[in-house]
Amino acid sequence: QVPLVESGGDLVQPGGSLRLSCAASGRIFSINTMAWYRQAPGKARELVAHFTSGGGTNYSDSVKGRFTISRNNVLNVVYLQMDSLKPEDTAVYYCNERPPNAFFWGRGTQVTVSS
């Protein structure tokens, strides 16, 4: 059983919004360890957003001000709210711990930003 399952990806026009969800099963993940990653075609997987040890959040420069990571502790779900989407945000998005656990990579969810 894959412990992390991503969902919410879709085809969206530039400037649009999406909310991705990451559902954890089988274990409770510490809020301080969870992160969102993405991998665009032909590129390496990159860290997009994560929670910090102080309880805050941090973002890559490419998404800062447009994406928001959040969590529902009761449901054990991590979210990524993505606003003002750009074509360069097109990628498969994954959640995992930070640093990532090789055994926890799920299938990801495809986000395509195109007119």
Task: Supply the pLDDT for residue 73.
Answer: 82
Kindly state the tokens that stand for 21: 């969800």
Secondary structure of residue 87 in the 3-state scheme: helix
Specify the pairing of strand 46-51 against strand 57-59. antiparallel
Task: Supply the pLDDT for residue 13.
Answer: 98
Task: Supply the pLDDT for residue 3.
Answer: 79
Answer whether 112's CB lies under 8 Å from 87's CB: no
In order along its 115 residues, the chain shows pLDDT tens digits of: 667 899 999 999 999 999 999 998 766 677 678 999 999 999 999 999 999 888 899 999 999 999 999 998 888 899 999 999 999 999 999 999 999 989 889 999 999 999 9
